[in-house]
């Protein structure tokens, strides 16, 4: 196992962390964890040096924390650091901070949580938590030992990320969505480097973009096949992350023992600065090739925003593009379903104000009904308006 310093702490985390939201399940029920197999996987990972486990209040319909509490016997609990998250959307009153943390401690059968995160912050939820004095509350939980270190996970634009990092000088770590396709999305490379420059450990989630980078289209695989050193597509994605010194831990939500074994083998040969210039250039080629597969040439410049009717135009177009890019339309439909209804393409009234501002001259008002029909109603993909 490779280990990396965790921000300013005098502790090193395993470069591979176990994301506890994709355990194998029985009968396809998210809340029905296949406990014997999941236990075998988890113990194998820990026995091979994984010392960072990441879960959350809602993972596996609330059963991930409970499962971990049962299977982390005293000896295994001593070998790992546990990370879980405050479900900010469930907080209606400051009293909920203690109530929710108390539930999580009971579920995990522990008297302390090593790393506690404010879950899924964006601008709206951050301002809500800030105004409820969550940081003052967290100071108390840190002082009495219920949590060891405070951090946050993040899903918004870079400017919001920087605002959150700068708002509190005692953050220990942050967790961002990052992979070779997300270099300019959300926090992106800029956010990774900014957080690290402030002394924060950076934990990576979605290193394989929810599995989209694992089984690529033929045109992408043909590029990978040109490499002198052969790797599986998942290994390329993981090694690209481990190549960067600002990355502290890469989380993998492993669903099979085979994935655990492959990832443990992969991390054992990882390191910063290990990819060659040719290999980094190849990954950039792959990124460009994926972008060529986008049916809508949106660059996410945001000139079309804000929409007068509240539609998140760039996000709708980006999600739509994911279907043909990765040949996984079901993933795109799932992402669309997670969007607030008022921000979906279905809320577009074809006012065309956005089209006057779009540098790419995208006929947005024509695409929006198609986006909703495909992603919201399950109709076949349309890749051209002609």
Given a cut of 80, whether residue 360 has pLDDT beyond it is: no
Given a cut of 80, whether residue 247 has pLDDT beyond it is: yes
Given a cut of 80, whether residue 1 has pLDDT beyond it is: yes
CATH number of 3-275: 3.20.20.100
Q: What is the mean pLDDT of residues 271-291?
A: 94
Q: What is the mean pLDDT of residues 133-151?
A: 96
Q: Which long-range contacts (CB under 8 A, 24 or more apart) does 274-278 make?
A: 274/239, 274/242, 274/243, 275/239, 275/240, 275/243, 278/228
b (16+ CB within 10 A) / e for 195-209:
bbeeebbbbbbbbbb
The reported pTM is: 0.83
Residue appearing with tokens 């934990």 = 203
Per-residue pLDDT band for 312 (boundaries 50, 70, 90) equals very high
Q: What percent of the chain has pLDDT over 90?
A: 77
Per-residue pLDDT, 179 = 94
Q: What is the DSSP string of 19-81?
A: ETT---BSTT-TT-B-HHHHHHHHHHHHHTT--EEE--TTGGGGHHHHHHHHH--HHHHHH-E
Per-residue pLDDT, 190 = 97
Which among 238, 74, 54 is positioned nearest to 153, based on CA atoms? 54
Which among 6, 7, 15 is positioned nearest to 272, based on CA atoms? 15
Q: Which long-range contacts (CB under 8 A, 24 or more apart) does 153-156 make?
A: 153/85, 153/117, 153/118, 153/119, 153/120, 153/121, 153/205, 154/120, 154/121, 154/122, 154/186, 154/187, 154/191, 155/120, 155/121, 155/122, 155/186, 156/121, 156/122, 156/123, 156/186
**Which residue did the predictor score with more confidence, 326 or 37?**
37
Per-residue pLDDT, 341 = 93
Q: What is the mean pLDDT of residues 95-115?
A: 95
**Which residue did the predictor score with more confidence, 209 or 14?**
14
Q: Which long-range contacts (CB under 8 A, 24 or more apart) does 38-43 make?
A: 38/67, 38/71, 39/71, 40/257, 41/254, 41/256, 41/257, 41/260, 42/18, 42/68, 42/71, 43/71, 43/76
Distance CA 118, CA 124 (A): 13
The distance between the two most distant Cα atoms of the chain, rounded to a whole number of Å, is 64
Residue 234 neighbours by CB under 8 Å, 6+ apart: 208, 213, 214, 262, 266
Q: How do residues 121-140 score in pLDDT, each as one tens digit?
A: 988 899 999 999 999 999 99
Domain ranges of the chain: 3-275, 293-386
Q: What percent of the chain has pLDDT over 70?
A: 100
Distance CA 52, CA 250 (A): 10
Per-residue pLDDT, 105 = 96
Per-residue pLDDT, 211 = 81
Residue appearing with tokens 């401690």 = 105
Per-residue pLDDT band for 141 (boundaries 50, 70, 90) equals very high
Q: How do residues 40-84 score in pLDDT, each as one tens digit?
A: 999 999 999 999 999 999 899 899 999 999 998 888 999 999 999
Given a cut of 80, whether residue 36 has pLDDT beyond it is: yes
Q: How do residues 158-200 score in pLDDT, each as one tens digit?
A: 999 999 999 999 999 999 999 999 898 889 999 999 999 999 9
**Mean pLDDT over the full length of the chain:** 93
């Amino acid at each position: 196992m490779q280990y990396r310093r965790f921000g300013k702490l005098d502790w090193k985390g395993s470069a591979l962390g176990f994301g506890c939201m994709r355990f194998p399940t029985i009968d396809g029920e998210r809340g029905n964890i296949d406990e014997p197999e999941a236990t075998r996987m988890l113990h194998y990972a820990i026995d091979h040096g994984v010392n960072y486990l990441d879960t959350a209040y809602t993972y596996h319909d609330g059963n991930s924390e409970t499962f971990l509490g049962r299977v982390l016997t005293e000896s295994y609990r001593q070998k790992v650091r546990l990370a879980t998250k405050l479900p900010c959307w469930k907080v209606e009153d400051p009293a909920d901070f203690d109530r929710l943390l108390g539930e999580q401690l009971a579920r995990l059968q522990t008297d302390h949580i090593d790393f506690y995160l404010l879950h899924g912050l964006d601008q709206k939820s951050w301002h809500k938590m800030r105004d409820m004095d969550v940081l003052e509350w967290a100071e108390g939980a840190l002082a009495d030992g219920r949590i060891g270190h405070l951090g946050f996970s993040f899903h918004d634009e870079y400017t919001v990320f920087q605002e959150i990092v700068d708002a509190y000088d005692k953050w220990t770590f942050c967790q961002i969505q990052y992979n070779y396709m997300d270099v300019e999305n959300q926090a992106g490379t800029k956010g990774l480097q900014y957080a690290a420059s402030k002394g924060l450990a950076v934990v990576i989630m979605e290193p394989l973009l929810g599995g989209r980078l694992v089984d690529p289209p033929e045109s992408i695989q043909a590029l990978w096949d040109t490499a002198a050193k052969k790797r599986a597509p998942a290994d390329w994605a993981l090694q690209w992350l481990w190549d960067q010194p600002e990355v502290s831990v890469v989380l993998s939500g492993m669903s099979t023992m085979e994935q655990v074994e492959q990832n443990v083998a992969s991390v054992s040969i990882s390191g910063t600065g290990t990819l060659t210039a040719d290999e980094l250039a190849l990954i950039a080629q792959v990124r460009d090739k994926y972008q060529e597969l986008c049916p809508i040439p949106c660059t996410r410049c945001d000139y079309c925003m804000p929409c007068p009717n509240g539609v998140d135009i760039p996000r709708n177009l980006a999600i739509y593009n994911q279907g043909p890019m990765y040949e996984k339309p079901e993933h795109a439909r799932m992402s669309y379903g997670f969007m607030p209804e008022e921000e979906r393409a279905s809320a577009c009234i074809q006012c065309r104000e956005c089209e006057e501002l779009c540098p790419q001259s995208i006929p947005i008002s024509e695409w929006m009904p198609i986006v909703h029909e495909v992603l919201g109603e399950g109709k076949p993909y349309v890749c051209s308006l002609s």
